[in-house]
Amino acid sequence: MNGQVFRPDCPEALWPLLEAGARPMAGGTDLLVRLRRQPPCDVALLQGIPGLDGVGLADGQLRLGATATHARLLAHPLVRERLPVLARALAVLGSPLVRNMGTLGGNIATASPAGDTLPPLYALEATVELASRRGTRRLPLADFILGPGCTALARGEIVTAVLVPPPPPDALQHFEKVGRRDALAVAVASLAAVIVRDEAGQVTEARLAVGSLGPTVTRCPQAEAYLLGRGLDRETLATVGRRIREAVSPIDDIRATAAYRLRLAGNLPLRLLRP
pLDDT at residue 82 is higher than 80 = yes
Rounded mean pLDDT, 202-206: 98
pLDDT band at 30 (very low <50, low <70, confident <90, very high): confident
pLDDT at residue 72 is higher than 60 = yes
Task: Compute how many other C-beta atoms are within 10 angstroms of the C-beta atom of residue 246.
Answer: 12
My answer on whether 157 and 182 are in the same domain is no
The reply to whether 242 falls in a domain is yes
Angstrom distance (rounded) from CA 22 to CA 3: 9
My answer on whether 189 and 259 are in the same domain is yes
For the stretch 9-23, pLDDT in tens is 999 999 999 999 999
For the stretch 241-256, pLDDT in tens is 999 999 998 888 888 8
pLDDT at residue 182 is higher than 80 = no
Domain end point (choices 103, 134, 164) = 164
Angstrom distance (rounded) from CA 39 to CA 148: 21
Rounded mean pLDDT, 214-218: 93
The reply to whether 50 falls in a domain is no
Identity at 63, one-letter amino acid code? R
Domain that holds residue 21: 5-45
Angle at which helices 258-267 and 234-247 cross, to 10°: 150
My answer on whether 144 and 206 are in the same domain is no
My answer on whether 157 and 177 are in the same domain is no
Domain end point (choices 164, 182, 213) = 164
Q: In Å, how far from its chain's centre is CA 179? A: 17
Lowest mean pLDDT among 32-41, 122-131, 171-180, 236-245: 32-41
| DSSP per-residue codes, 225-247 | HHHTT----HHHHHHHHHHHHHH
145 closest CA partner among 120, 118, 124: 118
My answer on whether 140 and 239 are in the same domain is no
Q: List beta partners, residue 163.
A: 63, 127
pLDDT at residue 181 is higher than 90 = no
My answer on whether 62 and 99 are in the same domain is yes
In the chain, how many domains are there?
3
